[in-house]
Amino acid sequence: MAELPSILDLPEEQRAVCAQLGIETVGVDDADATTLAERAARRALAEAGISAEELGALLVVEQRAPRTLLSSEATLLQARLGATHALTFTVGGLGCVSVTPALLTARGLLAADPELGPVLVAHGSKPVSEHRYRHPVTVNGDGGQALLLGRRGKVTIVDQVQETDGRYWDLFHVDYRGRHPSRWREECTDQPAYSFRLAVETRNRLRALLDRLLRRNGLVRADVRGFVSQNLSAGGLTFTEEALDLTLLPDCRENLRTLGHLGPNDVFLNLSSALQTGRLADGDHAVLINVSPVAAWSLLLVRIGPERDGNAPSRQKSQETTA
């Protein structure tokens, strides 16, 4: 665990912005992203009492910066775990929202093949840049997470919705070609577009997606026990609350303050925390809200407890945050 701003060497004009993010410490680990994912995967399998050889599929939410090109870190993770029989590939391209298509794919595999073993979704969150700060958005920490999906589990994925808008495909990027890694930066190519146009777009999209998600599942907001979001900044959490006229569970701000941003791992980290603190219990519904500046938006509706009819794929969870 590293305290801010001691690990950040920021220009003076960026320090004030960073200080307002609501992040005090972030997890820092010497391990690479694959090792972070491996640790979480082993913990998930151990908690479920399942061996890696029993896995039907291993889906890896892709890293933003692989160590080498052409090689496959997904099959490296497969080999390390000993998931000999698992169908293995990566899912990604949507930043933080990439966990949603991974879950959609896992549910599709389970529904398509009744004999398929459990599906493991894993991700190691490691910043592209050693500088960690993405101006003016967040500070990235290190962490691994693994989600074990089967036909019965501790949490049921009821439904999920997702949309994207390719007009913002390059709003944030790292210009790395021809640059030494010490010069890599997560840069916003158009700050007015991020601060204003994308903010309005996000508000409208999230409102419409939430209404659609609840309506098609026969629910109203009062039926949702808790809402969780990703951990970008205190201002980002407030924006989500005001845009949707709701209150996020306190776990979001607590994890933001101590761990920073963990990419696709954020929403399930916050869900896990809410379960551990007792803010969510069996029978409760929760909505997980995820946004990526590429731009992509997703909402997941989950119910605590196993699937009632025993047929739909559900999720067993385990996550690891490095310290």
- Tens of pLDDT along 31-83? 999 999 999 999 999 999 999 999 999 999 999 888 888 999 999 999 999 99
Q: Which helix (H) or strand (E) holds 285?
A: strand 285-292
Question: What are the backbone angles phi and psi of residue 280, rounded to the nearest 5°?
Answer: -125, 140
User: What tens digit of pLDDT does each residue of 1-25 get?
Assistant: 888 877 788 888 899 999 999 999 9
What's the confidence (pLDDT) of residue 307? 67
How many CB atoms are closer than 10 A to CB 277?
Answer: 12
User: What tens digit of pLDDT does each residue of 152-203 get?
Assistant: 889 999 999 999 999 999 999 999 888 888 888 889 999 899 989 999 999 9
Q: How far apart are CA 285 and CA 155, in angstroms?
A: 10
User: What tens digit of pLDDT does each residue of 74-125 get?
Assistant: 999 999 999 999 999 999 999 999 999 999 999 999 999 999 999 999 999 9
User: Does residue 250 have a cis peptide bond before it, meaning omega lies within 30 degrees of 0?
Assistant: no
Q: Which residues contact residue 101 at a Cβ distance below 8 angstroms, ignoring those fewer than 6 apart?
A: 91, 94, 162
Q: Quick one: residue 2, left, alpha or beta (phi over 0 = left, psi -120 to 50 = alpha)?
A: beta
User: What percent of the chain clears pLDDT 70, i.e. is strictly above it?
Assistant: 95
pLDDT band at 272 (very low <50, low <70, confident <90, very high): very high
Q: Which two tokens stand for residue 291?
A: 């946004």
What's the confidence (pLDDT) of residue 23? 97
Q: Where are the alpha helices (DSSP H) in the chain?
A: 12-19, 33-48, 73-81, 99-112, 191-192, 198-216, 234-244, 251-259, 266-276
Q: What is the DSSP string of 141-186?
A: --EEEEEEEESS-SEEEEEEEEEE-GGGTTSEE---TTS-GGG---
Question: What average pLDDT score do residues 124-142 get?
Answer: 91
The half-sphere exposure of 237 on its side-chain side, counting CA atoms within 13 A, is 29
| Stated pTM of the model | 0.92
For residue 308, pLDDT over 80 is answered with no
For residue 311, pLDDT over 90 is answered with no
* Ranges 121-135, 212-226, 259-273, 306-320: which has the least confidence: 306-320
What's the confidence (pLDDT) of residue 86? 98
Question: What are the backbone angles phi and psi of residue 232, rounded to the nearest 5°?
Answer: -100, -55
